[in-house]
A and B are shown apart, each in its own frame.
Chain A
Amino acid sequence: QQQVRQSPQSLTVWEGGTTVLTCSYEDSTFNYFPWYQQFPGEGPALLISILSVSDKKEDGRFTTFFNKREKKLSLHIIDSQPGDSATYFCAASVSNYNVLYFGSGTKLTVEP
């Protein structure tokens, strides 16, 4: 049973556009939701994270939204750049637990 579902599997946007990636989860005890960014040939790296006590967190051009009622989260990238081309993973966990459950990833391509 997949704990975290992510969509779309792949996405292409034009430079300067807004990217929206979405995830949903099953376990209502999850309260910590990080997003990881992975470039080809590298390991994933933490991009941004949010706790369930918040509904929005911003870091520069990246914003993550959390909807507890619908058990959904999203990542918005404004003014998308070719350098943002990467695979993005959402994940979920209980904050005092040591295991993350990852979504299947979205491969983002930003065309100039």
Chain B
Amino acid sequence: EAAVTQSPRNKVAVTGGKVTLSCNQTNNHNNMYWYRQDTGHGLRLIHYSYGAGSTEKGDIPDGYKASRPSQENFSLILELATPSQTSVYFCASGEGTGGIEQYFGPGTRLTVL
């Protein structure tokens, strides 16, 4: 069973529209993350969370909000989507002593027209 799932897997949105990407994990990890992946940039951290109710800004938070209503769920919200936010978005959960191991979901391909 996949431990980190994302929905939707593909999304087409219009400029200025609101987009919500959802992530669910069954690993019971405290830490969850949202990344975007673009060619030449690798994985860039948008927001992360240490547990239910917490959200922290990553390296590129502008234009994104995050919500962690429970241990299992972590959402990424684009209030006013722009074409520059067209990308593949990955959610991950993670835990570890002596170095964190992150478990990634399958990704959501978002196209903003």
Contact = CB atoms under 8 A, between A and B. Distances in A.
Report whether over half of chain A's contact residues are helix, strand or loop; otherwise say mixed. Answer: loop
Given A99-B48, A100-B100, A43 B42 contact: no
A34 B96 CA distance: 12
Contacts of A99: 45, 48, 58
Instruction: Report, as a range, how many residues of chain B touch the other chain.
Output: 20 to 34
A43 B98 contact: no
B34 interface: no
Interface string B75-113: 000000000000000101010011111111111000000
B4 A98 contact: no
Contacts of B106: 41-43
Report whether over half of chain B's contact residues are helix, strand or loop; otherwise say mixed. Answer: strand
A104 interface: yes
B1 to A, nearest CB: 15
A4 to B, nearest CB: 8
Contact of B99 (A43, A45, A93): A93
Contacts of A49: 99, 101
B42 A95 contact: no
A32 interface: yes
Contacts of A9: 40
B107 A89 contact: no
Contacts of B107: 41-43
Interface of B: 4, 31, 35, 40-45, 48, 50, 58, 90, 92, 94, 97-107
Interface of A: 6, 9, 32, 34, 41-46, 49, 51, 89, 93, 95-100, 102-105
Given A41-B107, A43-B106, A98-B48, 6 more contacts: A32-B98, A42-B107, A43-B90, A98-B31, A100-B45, A100-B100
